[in-house]
A and B are shown apart, each in its own frame.
Chain A
Amino acid sequence: MTRPPTTGRRTSPRIVLVHTATFRQARQFVPAIIPVVAAMGLGGGTVTVVALVAGVTLLSLATAALSWWRFSYAAGPTSVVVTRGLLTRSVRTVPNDRIRGVEVEAGPLHRLFGLVRVRVDAAAGSADKDEELLIDGVSRDEGDRLRTAVLTHRSSPVAAVDGEPEAEEQFARFDNRWLLYAPLVGSYLAVPFAAVGALFRLAQELPERFRPDLDGVHVSGLQAVSVVLVAALVVLVAGSVVGAAVVNWGFRLTRRGGSLVAARGLVTRRHTELEIDRIRGWTLSEGLGMRWVRAARAGALVTGLGDAARRGQLLPLGPREEARSLGVRLVPDPGPLLPHPPAARRRRIVRALAAGAVVTAAGAVVTPLLGWWWVLALGVALLVLGVPIGLGRYAALGHAARGSSFAVRSGWLVREEAVLQRRAVVGWQVRQSPFQRRAGLATVTACVGAGRGGYVAVDMDAAEVAPFTAAASDRWATDLAPR
């Protein structure tokens, strides 16, 4: 090594075993091995297979050991340095004040060996994988030490106030009963579908003689159909609950000094750290099914956080009141939302009916010509559905601004309310189409350097735009007011 070895620390040698088992480094040789194997053929029977398995394992062990040997890291007072690479040496230095967050995660194998993986998230905005440092395979204590070292060395005013041990305060804790909400959440419902899909693919690849003989089974009758439906429903419900449990098991949100630490996961345990000073607001999202049972999820809007949807979670799933009170502890609520004018309701309904109207018109033309009556039926069905959808979309609209924060809400399939600090706004955008101009409405976007980048109040009363923007951001926004 050309670098002075005193500064570098090694990861734990036990990581070599983990990486051997997961073929982490050896994976890149797979494209090279396949043609070799293909050339030799697999005709030799058991001996060849055993030799192959042993060879691949040895190769994996060797590459894992080599990469462990050539890897070192150092968390200095001003920066974190990671040195790696077998032939091409790479030294990556990340200044401490560019570090946005540290994530400590432990997969099942890591947990078996008492190891963790530390992910240091650097640089803003872009969620590029190259922007982060990965220190894989340090002991749990060393992981915690590294986390605190990196975060306290950072020149942020909150983390370095005094030498006192950081106070811990519990913000939220996942109640396992909340897992019962999972079947009503779209993203968890997708889990069983994916599992069933994978199962079918596996069944396709099984050799013929292992496949269960389904040809002899004939399903018929109402009873059989209902049995299948009930079974599917059970699989769907159970699968989504299990999926939610795996991801969210033991979710806990605590405040430690100037940051929020979220821990969760059944198989892979993950600790994510958010700096409270960078939190600009929070969102409360409720899907169509979740609104039924008054469930919601809460997420933090953090400036310069990559992969914000996952890392910014405050409460993955829970009762709405719980989620809301959690958000209010970070950024206060501006009070009840003001509904948008009746013209906005008209506009929502017209827009929701537009698709149905087009299909109905097409149906009215083709039914006498070609006899495709179903086009007309579909159009009418869409028209009928359009009314409740339009009303639902209108009911979601609202905005409020008071004190140090403001809120906007919209969405029907997923209704999202965003509560933001006044200081979060880095710009305003007001849009008005010719139709909105006639109806006296305007759409206002608060541009924010966090989360999605912009939060929208759709179809606000045009006369309210200037007062709202003035109330929801600092003095500069009074430039918008008509003179």
Chain B
Amino acid sequence: MTTTRAPVREPAWPLSRSAIGLWVTEGVIASLFLGVVAAVFAIFVPPDAPAPFPLLRWLVPALVLVYAVVAIGIRPWVRFRVHRWEVTGEAVYTLTGWLTRTWTLVPISRIQTVDVTRGVLQQLFGLSTVAVMTASSQGTVQVWHLEADVAQQVADDLAHRAEQVRDQAT
């Protein structure tokens, strides 16, 4: 079977390159946490435990290793290639995901609130997330990991334009 083209077009703009650093850091933290869990498992399970445990003693560290390779070495770059965003004349448009991809389009006229959030790690890398909320619980757009000043600019611009073109918003 051939790989078909994407169902809809790609948003125009990539994220900030610092996002890769952020994702790698997140992967390192998660891997360290899982590594500690695996170590605890290896220490506390006696070596002469019954049936499935000898297998698990190898399987658990192996799975953690695979996760670490994927989360640190592969996923950040795939994500960076996939993630894109754009603010067009009438809408906010994003593409997120790494295996499963999600495109979200929200018209500026239906925007209800615009949030800018900066997580702890994001602050280290000078990044922010812009979240655009609508009347629908499922119609939320999050533009992850923009440079802080860009994010603030985008949020201000969106809030201002939403006020001008706002029709019923529901």
Q: Which residues of A contact B (CB under 8 A)?
A: 124-125, 278, 280, 303-304, 423, 426-434, 437-440, 442, 445, 447-450, 453-454, 462-463, 465-466, 469, 474-477, 479-483
4 smallest A-B Cβ distances: which pairs?
A: A449-B135, A447-B139, A454-B138, A427-B139
Asked whether A479 and B105 contact (CB < 8 A) given A426-B136, A445-B138, A447-B139, the answer is yes
Asked whether A442 and B7 contact (CB < 8 A) given A430-B103, A476-B109, A477-B105, the answer is yes
Question: Cβ of B6: which chain A residues have Cβ within 8 Å of it?
Answer: 432, 462, 482
In angstroms, Cα B110 to Cα A449, docked, is 10
Question: Cβ of A462: which chain B residues have Cβ within 8 Å of it?
Answer: 4-7
Question: Cβ of A432: which chain B residues have Cβ within 8 Å of it?
Answer: 6-7, 100-102
Question: Cβ of B136: which chain A residues have Cβ within 8 Å of it?
Answer: 426-427, 447-449, 453-454
In angstroms, Cα B108 to Cα A477, docked, is 11
Q: Is B14 engaged at the interface, CB distance under 8 Å to the other chain?
A: no
Question: Cβ of B110: which chain A residues have Cβ within 8 Å of it?
Answer: 426-427
Selected A-B contacts with CB under 8 Å, 6 pairs:
A438-B4, A447-B106, A454-B139, A466-B8, A475-B90, A476-B107
Contact between chains at B3 and A480 (CB < 8 Å): no
Contact between chains at A430 and B139 (CB < 8 Å): no
Q: Which B residues between 129 and 170 are near A, CB-CB below 8 angstroms?
A: 134-139, 141, 168-170
A-B contact count (CB 8 A): 128
Contact between chains at B139 and A480 (CB < 8 Å): no
Residue of A124, A431, A434, A479 contacting most chain B CB atoms (<10 Å): A479
* Chain B 80-103 interface mask (CB, 8 Å, partner A; 1/0): 000000001011010000011111
Closest B residue to A474 by CB, please name it: B107
Contact between chains at B134 and A447 (CB < 8 Å): yes
Contact between chains at A447 and B138 (CB < 8 Å): yes
Question: Cβ of A437: which chain B residues have Cβ within 8 Å of it?
Answer: 3-4, 101
Closest A residue to B165 by CB, please name it: A476
In angstroms, Cα B139 to Cα A20, docked, is 48
Asked whether A440 and B4 contact (CB < 8 A) given A430-B103, A434-B100, A476-B109, the answer is yes
Contact between chains at B7 and A466 (CB < 8 Å): yes
Closest A residue to B109 by CB, please name it: A476
Q: Is B18 engaged at the interface, CB distance under 8 Å to the other chain?
A: no
Contact between chains at A303 and B134 (CB < 8 Å): no
Of the candidates A125, A427, A438, A447, the one whose C-beta lies within 8 Å of that of B3 is A438
Contact between chains at A430 and B8 (CB < 8 Å): yes
Closest B residue to A455 by CB, please name it: B138
Asked whether A427 and B100 contact (CB < 8 A) given A440-B4, A447-B134, A453-B136, the answer is no
Asked whether A480 and B8 contact (CB < 8 A) given A426-B135, A448-B136, the answer is yes
- Give A422 Cβ to nearest chain B Cβ, in Å: 12
Contact between chains at B9 and A481 (CB < 8 Å): yes
Of the candidates A429, A474, A477, the one whose C-beta lies within 8 Å of that of B102 is A429
Of the candidates A430, A434, A449, the one whose C-beta lies within 8 Å of that of B170 is A449
Asked whether A426 and B134 contact (CB < 8 A) given A450-B170, A453-B139, A479-B88, the answer is yes
Asked whether A426 and B107 contact (CB < 8 A) given A432-B100, A434-B99, the answer is yes
Q: Is B117 engaged at the interface, CB distance under 8 Å to the other chain?
A: no
Of the candidates B7, B8, B9, B107, the one whose C-beta lies within 8 Å of that of A427 is B107
Q: Which residues of B contact A (CB under 8 A)?
A: 1, 3-9, 88, 90-91, 93, 99-110, 134-139, 141, 168-170
Contact between chains at B106 and A427 (CB < 8 Å): yes
Contact between chains at A433 and B99 (CB < 8 Å): yes
Contact between chains at B135 and A303 (CB < 8 Å): yes
With A303-B135, A442-B7 given, can you name 18 additional A-B contacts, CB distance below 8 Å? A280-B170, A304-B135, A426-B136, A427-B105, A427-B138, A428-B104, A429-B103, A429-B104, A429-B138, A434-B99, A434-B100, A438-B3, A476-B109, A479-B9, A479-B88, A479-B90, A480-B9, A481-B8
- Give A447 Cβ to nearest chain B Cβ, in Å: 3
Question: Cβ of A454: which chain B residues have Cβ within 8 Å of it?
Answer: 136-139
- Give B133 Cβ to nearest chain A Cβ, in Å: 10
Of the candidates A304, A426, A438, the one whose C-beta lies within 8 Å of that of B1 is A438
In angstroms, Cα B144 to Cα A111, docked, is 57
Question: Cβ of B93: which chain A residues have Cβ within 8 Å of it?
Answer: 479-480
Question: Cβ of A442: which chain B residues have Cβ within 8 Å of it?
Answer: 7
In angstroms, Cα B106 to Cα A481, docked, is 14
- Give B31 Cβ to nearest chain A Cβ, in Å: 23
Question: Cβ of A278: which chain B residues have Cβ within 8 Å of it?
Answer: 170
Question: Cβ of A430: which chain B residues have Cβ within 8 Å of it?
Answer: 7-8, 102-104
In angstroms, Cα B99 to Cα A434, docked, is 6
Contact between chains at B100 and A431 (CB < 8 Å): yes
In angstroms, Cα B105 to Cα A466, docked, is 12
- Give A125 Cβ to nearest chain B Cβ, in Å: 8
In angstroms, Cα B11 to Cα A430, docked, is 13
In angstroms, Cα B103 to Cα A437, docked, is 13
Question: Cβ of A477: which chain B residues have Cβ within 8 Å of it?
Answer: 91, 105, 107
- Give A450 Cβ to nearest chain B Cβ, in Å: 7
Question: Cβ of A304: which chain B residues have Cβ within 8 Å of it?
Answer: 135, 170
Question: Cβ of A465: which chain B residues have Cβ within 8 Å of it?
Answer: 7-8
Question: Cβ of B90: which chain A residues have Cβ within 8 Å of it?
Answer: 475-476, 479
Question: Cβ of A280: which chain B residues have Cβ within 8 Å of it?
Answer: 170
In angstroms, Cα B90 to Cα A482, docked, is 16
- Give B131 Cβ to nearest chain A Cβ, in Å: 13
- Give A479 Cβ to nearest chain B Cβ, in Å: 5
In angstroms, Cα B146 to Cα A3, docked, is 54
Contact between chains at A428 and B101 (CB < 8 Å): no
In angstroms, Cα B89 to Cα A475, docked, is 11
Of the candidates B8, B104, B141, the one whose C-beta lies within 8 Å of that of A482 is B8
Asked whether A431 and B107 contact (CB < 8 A) given A447-B134, A466-B7, the answer is no
Question: Cβ of A476: which chain B residues have Cβ within 8 Å of it?
Answer: 90-91, 105, 107-109
